Amino acid sequence: MTGDRPLVLVLLEMALLVLLGPLVTGAIQKMKARLQCRQGAGVLQPYRDLIKLLRKGTVQADTASGFFRSIPVLVLAATVAAGALVPVVRVGPPAFPLGDALMLLGLLALARFLTAIGALDAGGAFGGMGASREMTIAPLVEPVLMMVVFSTALTAGTTELGALAAHRGTSWIVAWHAADFLGFAAMLVLLPAETGRIPVDNPDTHLELTMLHEGMLIEHSGPGLGCMMLATHMRQIVTLGLVAALFFPALPADSAGATGLLLGAGAFAVKILVLALYLALVESSYAKLRLFRVPQYLGVGFACALTALALRIL
Amino acid sequence: MSAETVHTIIDDLGALLLFTMILIVAAGQIYRAIYAVAAQSLFIAVAGAVLATATGNVDLWVIAGITLIVKAMVLPWVLHHVVQRMNIRREVEPVIPVGATLALAVLIVVVSFQLSASLGSVRQAITGNALPVGIALTLTGVLAMATQKTALTQMVGLFASENGIFFTAMSVTQGMPLIIEIGVILDVILAALVMAIMVLRVRSTVDADIADLDRLRG
Amino acid sequence: MSETLLWVLPVVPAVTALLMLTTHDRRILSAIDVCGSAVLLALTLVLAREVASGGPRAIGLLRIDDLGLIFLLLVAFLTLAVSIYTVGWLKQALAVGNMKSELLRSYFALVHAFVATMVVTVLADNLGVLWIAMEGTTITSAVLIGYHGHQHGLEAAWKYIIVTTIGISFGLFGTVVIYAAAAAAGLHGGAGALSWSAIMKVAPTLDPGIVRIGFIFVMVGYGTKAGLAPMHLWLPDAHSQAPTPVSALLSGVLIKCALLGIIRFQTIAAAACGPAFPAGVLLVFGLISVVVATPFILAQHDIKRLLGYHSVEHVGIVALGLGFGGRIGTYAALLHVVNHGITKALAFFAAGKAIARYGSRDMRVIRGLLSVAPIGGTLLMLAALSLAGVPPFSIFVSELLVLRAGIGQGHWVAIAIFLAMVVIIFAGLLHHVGSMVFGEPAAAVSREPETWSPLLGMMLLAAIMILLGLTIPASFDGLLRRATEIVR
């Protein structure tokens, strides 16, 4: 099979995403701190947290089954696998059969499902509540994400992200079709929900009763918790990468060779940073929504995505 | 600018207008609805400017300017002023769940596109998607008015509706006659002022929202 | 000469409105009121003579033809009747405290501004101007409806301004769409492409699909203003809460002006996509209006609301006449516009006097009107009989003609529904009015003698109502025939 992205490149990209994941979280935290006139922790803080956690021992609830121990590994594996599907430094179809955007969303959903199962398995009250809430929100987010993907995929005739991004080529906002605007709007609404941030979730605390994601992690400890945290960072950068692939696909330069790869990586970093800045801005300027308000908030994204789809088809 | 570019830009602005419309329908707070309708008017003014550059029609510049000043600045300011004077509860009260309203709004968009897709020859007379977007905006504005029971949100819905008409009117190939557009805008301002006065008057006499009064029946 | 008259006509009530702002004195205000209306009527008659001899006239955005002339005559004539009625009504309203003397001048100014916008509506050749004037009537009359300043009045005014403004935006959308169709058909030259007479010239070449969409939007829009069901929601509230003279203007003239708008677009639509389509739409709205109004008329206790719902029914009948179409149907519809305008104004006047006398709008309270106010009671009875469609009054004639048109076209189902509803309403209305006019009045009712000016206004209308029932003057008949030719 021929393709623009050989196996080595895909694996490299995946590793890059795993390495950069915590950095994005750190950057968002730093930007948030600056926006709120605080000094804030350094951008490398998530790495330090991870290292600290990996060194610690594990404590497990009495009620938890043996399955609980394997949950973090499975979640991390699913999320990292999802990372392989996002084009980073170069667009174009992969040289070997690889999943598409639907596979990516499926893997993220699987990770989410495993996280919830783990939280329920541990038997804690917080975990159960977090899981039930997460499962209330997830069905509202995932179909909409899928619709956004479809609304862009319709023009390219493929849902494979690399090929899709290549088809979109170097188009910038000027060349956007009307549906792209609405799809992007839907994506902007959904991003905080998918990355577990304000106004849907609050990543900074697991003490409030309003939290979703952090509640599910509360029973994990030591290396397990580290894996879960890394999976969260990974999910965030994968989601941002998905947005970048769908809406800001490629560099204008005909990238080939080492310089092309470097340029691609640089462009990717810029795209991710811009989206991260958006997340930081949203987190700083909005308050957490009451849980019962969340469906209404996500409804805006749903309406936008559906309209985008309608615009594309009609 | 080539006809193709103008076509694309109008389509894109149409999408942005639909987005603001969705925000208006889903707005949980009256201020957000007001900002959304102001943004919508701003996009309409931009559309007017684009069309003016493309067609060289000086009237459209005037219309774009008036739209910018009146609909994107003055009217939102009036609404803002009324909200502050009334010192009302900030949350709007939907009659039916917002989700249902949003679903209806999307349905309206789909139907409008379906409707104008059946009209082949209109494509030459009206630029881009302006006709379906205009229909959708007008109907969704009515929807917003019907599903929210405060006077201010009803006014916002009304302005959004008018915006839809303006968008279509601008995009008719030759543009509407200037005198007519000015007359229409004048009417809109007067209507808004009369409504604002009524709202404040009722608020000052019986401390209720005028749209909430329902003594007259049968 | 007559071209000048065209723009002088709307200026007359506008100037009258401005003059009102110069004084506070009730007598002077009333004098200006009557004089302004009389001048308007006189100029209208002059214009009518010119048009009858020399055909349609146009200047700029305004144009008068025989069709518009019918409505213009109705506007001018009812304005004068209202002015005369207002003289006596106002004295009484001030005494009771319904009107405040410091607000009088703005009341008069608004009434004449309202009339001015209606005159523009009738004279407009440009469809955009038609819309602007229509929205102008909404704004001026909304303030008038809430003029008493109490909660109910403001509620009615709010409902009115919201419902009709949103409705009329549909009308604007329809106008834009039809303008786009005209522009696509190659009509050039800015304002010219919105001119009704210019569009009519190219109407057969317009794209039928887009004109259909436009006509439906216009029908909903102007139909709201005309009070066609199911867009009539504002009408009973507004008519019942407005000051009586304003009710008479709303019901007698305003909804007729909206009908003129519908007729203008109907002619365009008929030329572009065949007469069957607009006729079908009009028939549907007409039937819905007649059917919807019936139960509300039967169950009503508030006399002004009763008359409001009655307007819904009669607008429905006009729509039916237009929908049946043909020479007879259109003729009948135009005649019914005039007949209903005059009769309904009379009914509102008489009802207003009765309400003032009894201090209530509840028909269960008003008893034995004939024994306390013989002339007013008789006039109310006459108006009610005419509204119900009893010969020899004018409405009987036009309803019969509508029926005749329907039979001619073979719309049997529509006719069956129409007849059934008219019979039911006939019974209901006579029951309501009979119990008001006859019987023993309560002891507390004021028995003071009737004042001359309202009576004069009412007599004037009653005389025309009876005259049109007995015979249609040749000149008026000619006018109606020429207008029918324009619509057909």
Among residues C183, C243, C246, which one has the least CA distance to residue C210? C183
Do A249 and A171 contact (CB within 8 A), yes or no? yes
Contact indicator for A311, A178 with CB cutoff of 8 Å: yes
Query: Are the C-beta atoms of residues C124 and C62 closer than 8 Å to each other?
Result: yes
Residue B84 pLDDT more than 90?
no
- For residue B172, give the nearest of C159, C180, C209 by CB distance: C180
- The model's pLDDT over B155-199, given as tens digits with 9 standing for 90+, comes to 888 899 989 988 888 887 667 788 888 888 888 888 889 988 888
Nearest CB to B99: which of A180, A181, A295?
A295
**How far C387 CA sits from the closest chain B CA (Å)?**
21
Instruction: Using an 8 Å CB-CB cutoff, list chain C residues near B127.
Output: none
The residues in B 72-131 lying below 8 A from A, measured between CB atoms, are: 98-99, 102-103, 105-106, 109-110, 113-114, 117, 129
Asked whether C and B share 3 or more beta-carbon pairs under 8 angstroms, the answer is: yes
Residue B116: how many other CB atoms lie within 10 Å: 25
C contacts of B199 (beta carbons < 8 Å): 158
**Percent of chain B residues topping a pLDDT of 90:** 14
Say how far apart CA A42 and CA C426 lie, in whole Å: 86
At C202 the pLDDT is: 87
Contact C425, C297 (CB under 8 A): yes
Match 């003490």 to its residue by tokens: A207
- Do chains A and C meet with 3 or more Cβ pairs nearer than 8 Å? no
pLDDT at C395: 92
Counted across chains B and C, CB pairs separated by less than 8 A come out at 156
The Cα C285–Cα C282 span in angstroms is 5
Where residue A253 falls among pLDDT bands split at 50, 70, 90?
Answer: very low
Per-residue pLDDT at A1 exceeds 50: no
Q: How confident is the model over C429-482, as pLDDT tens digits? A: 888 888 888 888 877 777 778 888 888 889 999 999 999 888 889 999 999 999
Q: Do B176 and C158 touch (CB under 8 A)?
A: no
The reported pLDDT for the residue numbered B38 is 94
- Partners of A309 on chain B (C-beta within 8 Å) are none
Which of A182, A296, A306 has the CB atom closest to B19's CB atom?
A: A182
Chains contacting C (3 or more CB pairs within 8 Å): B
Smallest Cβ–Cβ distance between B195 and the set C161, C170, C191 belongs to C161
Distance, C-alpha A60 to centroid of its chain: 28
The alpha-carbon gap from C239 to the nearest alpha carbon of chain B, in Å, equals 12
ipTM score assigned to the predicted complex: 0.90
A136 in B contact zone (CB under 8 Å): no
CA distance B8 to C292: 47
Please give the pLDDT value at position B102: 87
Distance CA A243, CA A180 (A): 12
Q: Is C486 exposed, middle or buried (0-12, 13-18, 19+ CB in 10 A)?
A: middle
- Reference B156, options B14, B32, B17, B13; nearest CA is B32
Lowest mean pLDDT segment, chosen from A50-59, A173-182, C21-30, C243-252: A173-182
Query: Which among A290, A306, A309 is the top mutation candidate for probing chain B, defined by the most B β-carbons within 10 Å of its own β-carbon?
Result: A306
> According to the model, what pLDDT value does residue A251 have?
58
Residue B90 has pLDDT above 60, yes or no: no
Positions of chain C with pLDDT lower than 70, given as ranges: 1, 188-192
Q: If we measure between CA atoms, which residue out of C299, C304, C395 comes closest to residue C350?
A: C304
Q: What are the chain C neighbours of B154 within 8 Å (beta carbons)?
A: 162
Work out the pLDDT band at B152, boundaries 50, 70, 90.
confident
Q: Is residue B136 predicted with pLDDT exceeding 50?
A: yes
Judged by a CB distance cut-off of 8 A, whether residue C207 touches chain B is yes
Q: Please state, in angstroms and rounded to a whole number, the distance separating the CA atoms of residues C423 and A156.
A: 66
Does the structure show a pLDDT above 90 at A286? no
Map residue C393 onto helix, strand or coil. Answer: coil
User: In terms of pTM, does the model score above 0.95?
Assistant: no
In this prediction, residue B121 carries a pLDDT of: 61
Residues B121, C210: C-beta atoms closer than 8 Å: yes
Q: Which of C130, C134, C166, C235 to mutate to test the interface with B (most CBs of B within 10 A)?
A: C166
Give C472's contacts (C-beta < 8 A, 6+ positions apart): C335, C397, C480
pLDDT tens column, C132-182: 999 999 999 999 998 887 888 888 998 899 899 888 889 999 998 888 888
